[in-house]
Amino acid sequence: MIILAADIGGTQARLLLGECEGDGWRTLRRQTLSSRDYPDFDTLLETFLLPGERPLTACIALAGPIEDQRVRMTNLPWQLDAAELAGRFGLRQVRLLNDFSAQAHGLALLRSEDLCTLQAGEPQADGVRALLGAGTGLGMALLAGSPRQPLVLSSEGGHADFAPQDEQQLALWQHLRAEHGRVSLELLLSGHGLERLYRFIAGRAASAAVSLDARGISRMAAAGDAQACATLELFARLYASAAGNLALTGLARGGVYLCGGIAPKILPFLQQPQVREAFCSKPPMRGLLQRIPLHVVLDEYLGLRGAAQVAARLASPAE
């Protein structure tokens, strides 16, 4: 039985065609396309599928809240309806998932080499696990249950309020509030957020044009540029602080996982001691947070693999 999986972000679309095998699946073909090059998901899928390829079930992971198996994407002008999509492409069943819910489904598939551990902690095997990921936006999810019966709780916590923790962060909040009115976590912890932090560090107005994008800032930091390094150091501390807040919210004794496209690319900055301090420094809960593992996920296909796992379950007779 052939399955289709997709992980659609605001920048990249990853798609996979697989074949059910035992309790899982094996990859037949995988491709990454630019989301912004397509006016809608149908056009993207028509580009991906080759003549004669007819998957039975599909799981589509998307950046945005899913309601009644419909979604209006947050960072793309796309709308999807699972039932309509199934009818147009002759699929027996289509499941729409929030992109971080799909990543949560993929956690059980990770190998040790897919992780970089920032804090080993004292993980509980049956503990709740939390995911937090900065990319085009900022995603979150919680995972409970077991590998065979996972319970995934999706979240739009990336749009929660940013709470400054020191004088520099208070100045940052004031710097952005004048331009945006409200300062959310995603406003800082995203690709464009990295650009905003760079303008702040460089002493430029919040609305000022900046010639460097997030990738350029990371390259300059790798080359030792002082302002770019200071930007990534601030970003890493803010990221860890948000992760600590999510750990407390979900009581994530199974661990916190930093996912998404940015974390693996700024790994040296996330491995600095002040990052672990930002994660744990939440009295009176410091001791609790020191026991919670903190990892960076290095596998960029985590969401796609999670979506494929869900599609394989849909294809099984039990589903």
Residue type for position 190: S
CA distance 6 to 278: 34
Interaxial angle between packed helices 167-180 and 191-201, expressed in degrees from 0 to 180 and rounded to the nearest 10: 110
CB atoms within 10 A of CB 87: 11
Which pLDDT tens digits describe the chain residue by residue (319 residues)?
899 999 998 788 999 999 998 878 999 999 999 999 999 999 999 999 999 899 999 999 998 788 999 998 877 889 999 999 999 999 999 999 988 999 999 998 999 999 999 999 999 999 999 999 998 889 999 999 887 788 999 888 999 999 999 999 999 999 999 889 999 999 999 999 999 999 999 988 666 666 788 889 999 999 999 999 999 999 999 999 999 999 999 999 999 999 988 999 999 999 999 999 999 999 999 999 999 999 999 999 999 999 999 999 998 765 5
- φ/ψ (deg, to 5) at 23: -85, 0
State both tokens at 285: 């809960």
Question: Whole-angstrom Cα distance, residue 17 to residue 6?
Answer: 9
Give the pLDDT confidence score for residue 308 in this predicted structure: 96
Helix (H) or strand (E) holding 230: helix 226-250
Q: What is the pLDDT of residue 261?
A: 86
The pLDDT assigned to 5 comes to 97
pTM, to two decimals: 0.89
Query: How many C-beta atoms lie closer than 10 Å to residue 283's C-beta?
Result: 8
| Residue 141 burial (C-beta neighbours within 10 Å; 0-12, 13-18, 19+) | buried
Coil/strand/helix, residue 35: helix
DSSP annotation of 50 reads P
- Going by C-alpha positions, the residue among 306, 293, 259, 316 that lies closest to residue 109 is 306
Write the CA distances from 156 to 32, 150, 160, integer angstroms: 25, 19, 8
pLDDT at 29: 95
CA distance to 105, 135, 228, per residue, from 99 (Å): 10, 12, 29
- DSSP one-letter code for 162: P
